Structure 1
Amino acid sequence: MTTTDDRTTAAAVDPGPLIKLTIADCAAKVLHSAVTLGVFGALAEGPAGADHIVAATGLHRRMADDFLDALAGLGLLERSGDRYSNAPLAQAYLVPGTATYLGGFVELTNETLYGTWGRLTEALTTGTPQHLDPDKGGFVGDKHKDPEKMKRFFAGLDAYSDRMGIELAGRIDWSRYSSFVDLGGARGNLASVLVKEHPHLTAGVFDLERTRPLFTEHTGRLGLGDRIAFTGGDFFTDDIPKADVIVLGHILHGFDTDRRRELLRRVHESVNPGGRILVYDRMIDDERRNAERLLSSLHMRLVSPDGSEYRTEDVRTWLSEAGFTDSTAEPLLGTHTLVTAAR
């Protein structure tokens, strides 16, 4: 039963943040639809009116004004009179065909997040992972059986790994090393960024054998087919190629703690003496207060039977147990943490 005291207490607290959180997915869907329809590409050459955008994208005129103004309100478009232009953020990252395009990542999240998070309550009460493709299992479902699906999936990952590769290329003193292997490097996109920035490096990718055709096609298209070697295999049963530096990006969060420890021991055996290991993930802050990192961890629990994010201090402990020394941790891209350690 609600009392006068209850109403007085509630009146003293602004419900605005609660309402905003309740409809947060609406803003994300506006962004996803704008990328899918090509709004930012239609404005790549400069300002235009709503009618031009409607003609270029297939947007229905009845929906256009609210949709475009919502994009402006979100900081993705700018409006002057009756003309729209891309805001700096959209011009930098959402124009197709540019080297910094992140639209593939936007489309990937649209494809992978909504179906699974729509089943969050079921997962919370059963503990059962809610796969991206129900009844097909695995984080990518059966996409590996359809090359076109896998290409779209990897294109989304590439959009992010481009930025990660550029960051790692400048963050590490690669002049000290002559080789690296990207563990779980998919079709070699991050590796391609590193070898372009540091041509002296001998590069390798270690991933499941089924990824090889997509790797061969992608690196060949980039003109790097002879610069990056692919080794097919399983992290836990096959020999990991030896290198001065081994990179584990978005790998450890897919396993439970015992498997993480096991994998790091195996990696230690493959890093050349004097080399380093690089680990990056959306690691949870040691105080477990960062909501975005905790949501990432919850996502991994939602889509996999054993995965989750982990604390920075945890991985530094596991690295020490595996035999690595002198570990360091630092922020990466504002969304990740990079932990490195010496062999």
Structure 2
Amino acid sequence: MGSSILAMAELATPMAIRVAATLGLVERAGGAGATAEQLAAGTGTAAPALRLMLDHLVSAGVFELDAGRYRPTELGLQMREDAPEGIKPLLDINCAGGRAELAFADLLGTITTGAPAYEHRYGRDFWADLDAHPHLRRSFDAQMSWRFATQAAQIAARFDWSRFARVLDVGGGDGN
């Protein structure tokens, strides 16, 4: 039956995943799992609201619920800090990648006015924000290293480079 445009436009699950990654819920729940109250106490969040989000993530297959304890599934374990997929910095709203992705909420304004959404949202452009916040710079450098290690070969192989006489990669992040 093909996917619907509504399913593609749904924001609740991607935002719930980002919030779970930002709060470190996978690490906090661990293999034994934790109640919503335990997770809320450890993250300084509201237990009723957190429970609703966790229940949504159960329906999405990211967590499972057993005897009142939320435990990450195999899918959810990809959000661990030490997961081999290395995607947590891309999801964490407090890291450069997650923060930049939130600017997409202002995409209509960018398309309408031509003004950058990141600057509108945060008061400075992306690069100035990295310069102003060392933790964002570190997370950006880590993200670029991850992307280089996992995606550079794919980009080199799949992109049609024939229209360019020369290509120069200046480096980014920490210069990898």
TM-score normalized by structure 1? 0.40
Long gaps (5+) in structure 1: 1-15, 172-248, 250-277, 281-311, 324-343
Larger radius of gyration: 1
Correspondence for 1:150 among 137, 140, 160: 137
Equivalent residue number for residue 106 of structure 1: 91
Instruction: Tell me which amino acid in the other structure corresponds to 1:111.
Output: R
Q: Answer whether contact 1:31 1:71 (CA < 8 A) is retained.
A: yes
Residues 1:31 and 2:27 are matched in the alignment: no
Assess if the C-alpha contact under 8 Å between 1:30 and 1:71 holds in 2: yes
Displacement of 1:143: 1.8
Change beyond 3 A, Cα 1:142–1:69: closer
Give the drift of 1:98: 4.1
The percent identity for this pair of structures is 16
Q: Which residue, out of 80, 83, 108, partners 1:121?
A: 108
Shift of the alpha carbon at 1:86? 0.9
TM-score (structure 2 length as normaliser): 0.70
Q: What letter matches 1:152 in structure 2? A: S
Amino acid at match of 1:112: A
* Equivalent in the alignment of 1:52: 38
- Work out the CA distance in 1 between the residues paired with 2:149 and 2:79: 14
Contact map agreement 2:62 2:76 (CA 8 A) in 1: yes
Q: Tell me, what secondary structure is at the counterpart of 2:49?
A: helix
Cα 1:122/1:67, change in 2 over 3 Å: closer
Over the residues paired in the alignment, what is the CA RMSD in angstroms?
3.2
Of 68, 74, 80, which residue of structure 2 is paired with 1:95? 80
The aligned residue for residue 130 of structure 1 is 116
Tell me the residue number matched to 2:171.
none
Residues 62 and 46 of structure 1: is their aligned pair in 2 closer, same or farther, counting only changes over 3 Å?
Answer: same
Q: CA deviation at 1:101?
A: 3.2
Cα offset, 1:156, TM superposition: 3.5
Unpaired runs of at least 5, structure 2: 167-176
The alignment covers a number of residue pairs equal to 160
Distance in 2 (CA, whole Å) between partners of 1:28 and 1:111 is 14
Specify the SS of the correspondent of 1:154. helix
Greater per-residue strand proportion? 1
* Higher relative contact order (CA closer than 8 Å, sequence separation 6+): 2
Q: Do 1:105 and 1:156's aligned partners in 2 also have CA atoms closer than 8 Å? A: yes
Give 1:68's aligned residue.
54
Superposition map of 1:149-188 within 5 A: 149-164=136-151, 168=153
CA gap of 1:82–1:148, structure 2 versus 1, over 3 A, is: closer
Distance 2:106 2:33 in 1: 41
Distance in 1 (CA, whole Å) between partners of 2:151 and 2:8 is 29
Structure 2 Cα separation of the partners of residues 35 and 121 of structure 1: 26
Asked whether the 8 Å contact 1:131–1:141 carries over to 2, the reply is no
Partner amino acid, structure 2, of 1:89:
L
